[in-house]
């Protein structure tokens, strides 16, 4: 099976029913994508397919119909994505396990809405759980990322 992941074509030998999450993690070595719940309740597995944020734990790899971008493909030319840069500057992560998914959801939000309000942030991000409770800094980082992008 052919997939385009983080800008590169890859060939994997996967059952089409296998969730994209496990194809990425166990077959393609993309371990930045995280397993959290397996039923799309926590958002740890969030990646982009065709530019949309999706929960890769419930998406069969056989149904993937476009390029996949994971946290590992966000930085280009050794430069952090503005959302990653904002996460770093706001010192968001604690244990860090959910943050791949949080960042992917935030990137998708900012692609749609360049200056999200608090309620737009809440709506877009409430599918992403953080057990460490980094939410206040996530809100701050999304706003900072919006201004980094605006200035870029």
Partner 1 sequence: MVGKIARRSFLIGAAAIAGGVALGYYTYRKPFPNPLDDELSGGEATFNPYVKIAPDNTITVIAPRAEMGQGVETTLAALVAEELDLDLAAINVEHGPVASAYANIAILRDGLPFPVFDQSTLANLARDGMAVVGKFLAVQATGGSTTTVDAFDKMRHAGAAAREMLKAAAAKEFGVAAATLTTRDGKVADPASGRRLTYGELAAAAAKLAPPTEIALREQAEWRLLGKPQMRTDMLAKVTGQPIFGIDVDLPDMVFGTVRMNPHLGGALVSLDASEAEKMPGVIKVVPIRTHLGNGFGVIAKTTWHAFQAADAVKVEWGQAPYPADSAGMWQVLTDAAANSGSVMRNDGNVAVEFADAPRERLIEAEYRVPFLAHAAMEPMNATAQFKDGVLDIWVPNQAPSPLRTVCAREAGIAEAKCNVHITYLGGGFGRRLEADYALYATKLAQVADGRPVKVTWTREEDITHDTYRPAALGRFRARLDEAGMPLAVDLKVVSPSIMASVLPRFYPMLAALGPDKTLTDGLFNQPYTIPNYRVAGVKADLTVPVGFWRSVGNSVNGFFHEAFMDEIATAGGIDPVELRKRLMAARPTAVKVVEKVAAMSNWGEKLPAGKAKGFAFVLSFGSWVAEVVQIADTPQGIRIEKVWIAADVGTALDPGIIQAQLTSAAIFGLSAAMGQEITFAGGMVEQSNFHDFDVMRISQCPEFEVAILENAPEMGGVGEIGTPPSLPALANAVFALTGKRIRELPLNKEVTFA
Site for partner 1 in 43-82 (CB under 8 A): 44, 70-72, 74-75, 80
**Interface size with partner 1, residues (CB under 8 A):** 57
> Considering the complex, what minimum distance in angstroms separates the CB of residue 17 from partner 1?
9
Burial 40-55 (b: 16+ CB within 10 A, else e): bebbbbbbbbeeebbb
Q: Can residue 29 be called a binding residue for partner 1 (CB under 8 A)?
A: yes
Q: Can residue 152 be called a binding residue for partner 1 (CB under 8 A)?
A: no
**Closest Cα partner for 63 from 128, 131, 14, 7?**
14
**Closest Cα partner for 82 from 146, 1, 8?**
146
- Binding window for partner 1 (CB under 8 A); candidates: 48-56, 109-117, 133-141, 144-152: 133-141
Q: Can residue 138 be called a binding residue for partner 1 (CB under 8 A)?
A: yes
Q: Provide φ and ψ at 101, rounded to 5°.
A: -70, -40
Question: Binding pattern to partner 1, positions 86-125, x when CB under 8 A?
Answer: -xx--xxxxxxxxxx--x-----------------xxx-x
Interface with partner 1 (CB under 8 A):
15, 18-19, 22, 25-27, 29, 31-39, 41-42, 44, 70-72, 74-75, 80, 84, 87-88, 91-100, 103, 121-123, 125-126, 128-139
């Amino acid at each position: 099976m052919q997939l385009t992941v983080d800008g590169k074509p890859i060939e994997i030998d996967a059952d089409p029913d296998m969730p994209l999450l496990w194809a990425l993690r166990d077959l393609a070595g993309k371990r930045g994508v995280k397993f959290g719940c397996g039923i799309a309740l926590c958002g740890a597995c969030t990646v982009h397919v065709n530019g949309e944020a999706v929960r890769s734990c419930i998406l069969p790899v056989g149904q993937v119909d476009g390029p996949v971008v994971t946290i590992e493909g966000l930085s280009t030319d050794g430069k952090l994505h503005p959302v990653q840069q904002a996460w770093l500057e706001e010192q968001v992560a604690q244990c860090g396990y959910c943050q791949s998914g949080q960042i992917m959801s935030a990137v998708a939000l900012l692609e749609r809405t360049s200056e999200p309000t608090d309620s737009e942030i809440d709506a877009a991000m409430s599918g992403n759980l953080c057990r460490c409770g980094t939410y206040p800094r996530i809100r701050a980082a999304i706003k900072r990322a919006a201004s980094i992008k605006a200035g870029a």
